[in-house]
Structure 1
């Protein structure tokens, strides 16, 4: 599999990633634009999905979100969901400048936090002709309240307010770990499977992943509700792939969001938990996504 490093401008910030050219014959092909979820970098299994797509005759354009991995951007380790949505659109624009890309056959793929992003992107950007959203974070307001004990929420709000005042006075943004071995310790993603997946993948395949995000990233997570856009995706074909035992981005919220979407749409509920999608469930999740894109982008 041949891939090449890419970089492109995004409102003054350089984003970097990989381009996987289609293995099919011909000069231009449908292209899937891909980025990762909350704090993750492209090395955390996105190469495997891109390879499946390229083998099936699709180009794949994979990039690190701004402020993370190989991409530029400040402050480092800060996640602004709306900026990441704009960067998906910058990546689509960049893709259309490449000779290998068929401008009329663009798909977007997202997972976890970016699984929510692609719901928004496909609703507002009609260059997108097919979308796959796996393990999606669909409602940050409700999701945060599933992850954080009610008696801890007041403490979080106090930290957000103190950080806002400190930034106003010129201090650097406060940070918190993405994960912690103790689920009751302060962290952005306080589940046992989050700790296991991030620490394992970070130590084995993604050494540039950092266990840190700005506190403001958690605040913005709780303000972000991509489900509000799902009714506007149609007529773009939507495939949603929630996991049956997802405790990080709860399964019932994803199913509820899917029910609000209009046709053409399909849902497949995958076995296991949130992170099994990338590992034990990779063959199934990648095949379903690939088949969806081939159906609607290749025909």
Structure 2
């Protein structure tokens, strides 16, 4: 792909007294570019495919800030591998605030981009930040009950003893009891679809900071979490990129929520939940996202 050459900078910003580590991709030779903020999926880190999208956005003249949530990867926060929905949404607020104060991007032209669990966050964040110009929600987690049904009642039951142990650990201030994020079908993991483990592992670079575990206490909060309900409150244009063969975030529920967004645009792909980061599905989705972002950020 032609376009701008890109320089990647290591940056960080404060969130609740901790530090979120991030990359800022700047298009060379573009003064005051608009900026899109990228957030990753469940228990992942920014090294797991976000750089590919960020690089392409920057080549198209849109600066990109890809960050890792607190408690994960090379961001700070104790205990490790703690997935707090409330804290992750606060990290988004901090990322937006950081983008607005930077002198190398246009803080008045900001968009958000989230994938998977981060795609759900992008919907909620967009509903809370009317000043944003646009949002992209990729194969988003929109409904915890739908995702729990995808895991199945037996899979959910397998997790309960560890969840109980971790809730007790939290109450007695001990280290979290961890559960596996992505596992083989039939194993004790949050995601056990046949493509979940290979899908995650395909995204982990050699020197990545990813750990395939998360504090078990998150499981019930995920089941209750329904970020799709915020779609009807999103005032700016929002692009939903939906995978038709999504084993983790069922597409039917996502489509129903996406249709409630007043300025929603929907694109569908003949792909699974983890296919979108690589190969031809990636090429298809990134072209659509660049077109959408360029249009609404006037890049």
Q: What does residue 267 of structure 1 align with?
A: 266
Counterparts of residues 1-299 of structure 1 (less than 5 Å): 1-26=6-31, 28-147=32-151, 149-180=152-183, 182-202=184-204, 204-205=205-206, 207-234=208-235, 236-262=236-262, 264-280=263-279, 281-298=281-298
Cα displacement string for residues 61-96 of structure 1 (whole angstroms, at most 9, x for unaligned residues): 111111111111111111112211111110010111
TM-score normalised over the length of structure 2: 0.93
Structure 2 unaligned regions, length at least 5: 1-5
Q: Which moved more, 1:125-134 or 1:109-118?
A: 125-134
CA contact 1:14–1:72 (8 Å) conserved in 2 = yes
* Contact kept in structure 2, 1:53 and 1:290, CA below 8 Å: yes
36 and 151 in structure 1: CA distance in 2 versus 1, 3 angstrom threshold = closer
2:22 aligned counterpart, secondary structure: strand
Provide the rounded CA distance (Å) in 2 between the counterparts of 1:109 and 1:24. Answer: 24
Cα deviation, residue 106, structure 1: 0.4
Note if contact 1:21-1:60 (Cα within 8 Å) is conserved in structure 2: yes
Cα distance in 2 for partners of 1:200, 1:278 equals 9
State the distance in 2 between where 1:199 and 1:66 align: 21
For residues 4 and 151 of structure 1, the distance between their equivalents in structure 2, rounded to whole angstroms, comes to: 45
Within 1, Cα distance between the matches of 2:14 and 2:206? 27
For the residue of structure 1 that corresponds to 2:135, the secondary structure is: strand
Q: Deviations over 1:217-262 (max 9, x none)?
A: 222211211011111002x001000101101111111111112221
Deviation at 1:16, TM superposition (A): 0.8
Query: Tell me, what secondary structure is at the counterpart of 2:274?
Result: helix
d(CA) in 2 for partners of 1:120, 1:2: 30
- Given that 1:67 and 1:78 are in contact with CA atoms closer than 8 Å, whether structure 2 keeps it comes out as yes
The number of aligned residues is: 293
> How far apart, in 2, do the equivalents of 1:105 and 1:212 lie?
36
CA contact (8 A) 2:71 2:78 kept: yes
Deviation at 1:102, TM superposition (A): 1.3
Displacement of 1:54 in angstroms is: 0.7
SS, match of residue 84 in structure 1: helix
Q: Aligned with 1:50: secondary structure? A: helix
Structure 1: which 5+ residue stretches go unaligned? none
- The worse-fitting range, judged by mean Cα deviation, of 47-56 and 164-173 is 164-173
Contact kept? 1:36, 1:64, Cα under 8 Å: yes
Matches of 1:240 and 1:206 in 2, distance apart?
31
Runs of 4+ residues deviating >6 angstroms: none
Question: How far off is 1:168 after superposition?
Answer: 1.5
What secondary structure does 1:192 align onto? coil
Aligned-residue Cα RMSD (Å) equals 1.6
User: What is the CA distance between 1:140 and its match in structure 2?
Assistant: 1.2
Is the Cα contact below 8 Å between 1:24 and 1:57 reproduced in 2?
no
Measured in 2, the distance between the counterparts of 1:169 and 1:223 equals 24
Question: How far apart are the structure 2 equivalents of 1:44 and 1:151?
Answer: 29
